[in-house]
Amino acid sequence: MCETVAFFHKADQWKSKPLLRAIIFDVDGTLAETEELHRASFNTAFKQFGFAWQWDFETYGKLLTTTGGKERIARYAKETDASLAADVILAMHKAKNELYAKAIEAGSLSLRPGVHDVMSKATQRKIKLGIATTTSKSNLDALLRSCFSEKERTGFAAIVCGEDVSRKKPDPEVYLKCLAQLGIRCDEAVAIEDSAVGLASAKAAQLSTIITPSAYTLTDDFNGALAVLPDLSGGLDQILVHFKTA
């Protein structure tokens, strides 16, 4: 296990900087502002299944504290006293994911500012790239196909999705598995997240974490983050300022 390190926002407050060997990205809200597309896809799927549910911005924002689409449907059903069998939840979630994939493939999504540049510069410096997400593999695959070149897609040295873990964020399992795939220690990587739930997951894995809040997480509590940035448009340097490089 890695020893817990106290992180600060100002580089000159560091007593010693760790060596950065990998950057691990969350997906939804971090690589791209996906949540509005997810919300619209959920609402269309509900209608297809004959439900009058329509999640507005506020409702969906509250549901995002529960990670995983199936888990959000189950939570909402319980909160509204609706009786939903597990197979119905699975079918509804599958339909939603298919709608989401079609929307992405139609060009409805773009990466957040700075993501491409940070990835390119990290690769040039031989800093590994990873993905740690509890979204479905089908959702991630759709985003990767739409927003990344084949070379960029193969540039991820480790990818862990929701199907790969038994416990979703804020549990650290997804990050611990990603670190194992990368073959590095927790103090040699930084997580890029957008939410308090993601921050909690990364912190539980003893990862330093940079937050780029999304539209749904602007008011989250990011206490304990290494830094909170509007986005990654400042490039790789705004990450490297906190680390040593080989």
Q: What is the pLDDT of residues 38-77, one digit of tens each?
A: 999 999 999 999 999 999 999 999 999 999 999 999 999 9
| Stretch 174-201: mean pLDDT | 97
> Which residues in the chain are classed under CATH 3.40.50.1000?
11-33+111-240
What is the pLDDT, as a whole number, of residue 5?
Answer: 37
**Domain covering 11-33+111-240 in this structure, CATH number:** 3.40.50.1000
- Give the contacts of 169 (CB within 8 A, at least 6 positions apart): 67, 134, 197, 198, 200, 201
DSSP notation for 35-83: HHHHHHHHHHHHHHTT------HHHHHHHTTS-SHHHHHHHHHHHTT--
Indicate where the chain has its CATH 1.10.150.240 domain(s): 35-105
What pLDDT, on the 0 to 100 scale, is given for residue 94? 96
Q: What is the dihedral of CA 219, 224, 230, 232, to 10 degrees?
A: -140
Distances (CA, A) of 182 to 22, 52, 82, 118, 152: 8, 44, 43, 18, 17
What residues are annotated to the active site?
Answer: 26, 28
- The mean pLDDT value for 213-232 works out to 97
- The answer to whether the beta carbons of residues 25 and 129 sit under 8 Å apart is yes
User: Exposed/middle/buried for 91, CB within 10 Å: 0-12, 13-18, 19+?
Assistant: middle
Query: Packing angle between helix 86-105 and helix 69-79, nearest 10 degrees?
Result: 130
- The domain defined by 35-105 folds into DNA polymerase; domain 1 (1.10.150)
Q: What is the pTM of this model?
A: 0.89
**pLDDT at residue number 83:** 87
Residue 176 has pLDDT above 60, yes or no: yes
For position 107, what pLDDT does the model report? Answer: 87
> Mean pLDDT over all residues of the chain?
92
Question: Residue 7 above 80 pLDDT?
Answer: no
- Percent of the chain at pLDDT exceeding 90: 89
Mean pLDDT of 160-173: 97
Q: Is the pLDDT of residue 185 over 60?
A: yes
- Give mean pLDDT, residues 156-164: 97
Region 112-135: mean pLDDT is 97
